[in-house]
Each structure stands twice: as structure tokens, then as C-alpha cells.
Amino acid sequence: MKPTDFLGNVGAQVVGQSLTTATGKVWERQVKPRLTKARAEIQFKQIPATLRAEQQKQRDLEIRRQEEARIAKGNKVRAEVLAKDKQARDQAILDRKRQAVQATTTAPRSTQAPSQTQKQQQHVVRQPTRR
């Protein structure tokens, strides 16, 4: 069987743009069908098995790359969300501390902790020790 045999003579199945003969050979369709003897004759060229395996490997690599890119994008989005959450938590903690400081500074004198001047007044002057 030659690649230029008529499809009927080959006993072939056409699948997409490639065809498998009854003997299991795979032929890939070339760009233009040729007309000979007023009958359509489609010329096919054989794809070596190693080339097919190489093409499949390339497709698998491309799919894996796309999958990894998709996962990385998802991880990046997740990291951004976590960073925003952490920033919001830190901001809330700072706000609470600020409010606590404001509450102590605006509290009435009686509830405030004694200031430096009051502490000095309460401090008892100690006598020098004898030697």
C-alpha cells in the first residue's frame, strides 16, 4: 500500500485529519487533495511513531505548564487575601491599643495612675546610711 492509494483501496478509517489503515499505519493528511483521473485522491504522508510520541510529549508538557500556571495564580490570589486579612487584623489591634491609650488619658484625675510629679511627692527621702 502506498500513501497515494485511493481511500477505498486502503480500507482505512479517517479520524480528524489523520487516517489509520487496516494494517495500523498512521497517515496524516496533507494540505490539498489532488485530482487525478477525474477521481479525488488524497495524498497522505506517514508520521513516524517517534515523531508522534514527541508531539504527544510536547502537548503533555504544555498542559502541565498551563496547569502549574493556573495553580500558581490561585496561590498568589490566596496569598494576597491572607495578607489583606493579616493587615486588617493588625490594624484592628492597633486601633484597640490607640483607643485604650485615649481612654486612660481622657479618664478623670481620680482614676488615672499617679503621674511623675505625684510619685515624687509620695517618695520618702531616705536617710544616708552609716558606715
Print the SS3 string covering 13-60: EEECCEEECCCCCEEEECCCCEEECCEEECCEEECCHHHHHHHHHHHH
More confident residue, 79 or 14: 79
Pull the grid cell for residue 45.
Answer: 504522508
Q: Give the tens place of pLDDT for each residue, 33-89.
A: 445 544 445 555 666 777 788 889 999 999 999 999 999 999 999 999 999 999 999
pLDDT, averaged across the chain? 71
Pull the grid cell for residue 25.
Answer: 499505519
